[in-house]
Amino acid sequence: MSIKKWVSLGSVYLILVILAYSLITGNNPFQSGELDHNHETSEVQKEEETMEHRQHNHHHDHQVESELNTNVTYNDGRVFIKLEADNGNPPKLAKEHEKEMHFIIVSNDLEAYYHLHPDKEQQGSYVVNQELSDGTYQAFVDITPENKAYQVVPKPVQIGTNETDKASLESEDKWTKEIDGKTVTLEDVNAAVEEKVPLVFDTHGEKPDPHLGALGHVVIVDEEVEQYIHVHPASEDTTTFNAHFSKPGKYKIWAEFKFGDNVNVYPFILEVKE
């Protein structure tokens, strides 16, 4: 059979396939713009999924088995953090919001709060200067190891012999806080487990300055000092943070906003319902 006849048969077959598709679906797959629209929609969905992941990848609720061990010690005004992967080697860390490590340490009663960024002495070994009073603390090593599963869990740090009791949080009745003349209001929150909980902060017309690649940072810990959540703004130009809670109870929120050269930390207490 000649090449011309093969081409003709191929064209007829292609037309029959298109006609069959049109009869079954009622659509013309080659209608102008349809394929481009589907492609565009797919790209938008991918971007939304990526943004959703970025907002929630710091939400830690003990559901992932870590492939990384962390050790936190304190000596004479310095905190030391050691990291070791399950293969015995120090892990390589990806930067998140300009830092390889966000180190959160809070006292057991949730009165003291520090958000620190330790320096790397060598691979797997970090240190930061911070004077801490005697008492019991919980440390959260917030990192993103490359190619390793990791779960942030509280690491107890005891300084001196006096142990600090866990907090018994009371419901918040003051939703507007002022620090150094800068006022922030947390708008009404209806928080329930396993739902997206928008935390909307009103900065009263004064836009915060960028801080560590965002307009703010929000760290949340429950009164048992077990649940740890670290979220960033829902977009680049907003002070709304979407949090997820896996357990009911009372939580303390520390909202960090930078105004000028100062990073102010605004504390709030939130109750999460079933």
Mean pLDDT by 10 residues, the chain (274 residues): 48 52 49 39 39 42 77 97 94 93 98 98 97 98 95 96 95 94 97 97 96 95 97 95 97 98 97 95
Find the angle CA(109)-CA(110)-CA(112) to the nearest 5 degrees.
105
Compute φ and ψ for 166, nearest 5 degrees: -65, 155
Residue 41, classed as helix, strand or coil, is helix
Burial of 146 (0-12, 13-18, 19+ CB in 10 A): exposed
Q: Where in the chain is the domain with CATH 2.60.40.1930?
A: 176-272
Tell me what pLDDT residue 175 has.
Answer: 97
The class (CATH top level) of 63-159 is mainly beta
Domain 176-272 has CATH 2.60.40.1930: yes
CATH 2.60.40.10 in the chain, residues?
Answer: 63-159
Look at residue 123 in the predicted model and tell me its pLDDT.
Answer: 94
User: Contact at 8 Å (CB) between 249 and 225?
Assistant: no
Rounded distance between C-alpha atoms, residue 265 and residue 112, angstroms:
11
Measured CA to CA, the distance from residue 153 to residue 91 in angstroms comes to: 17
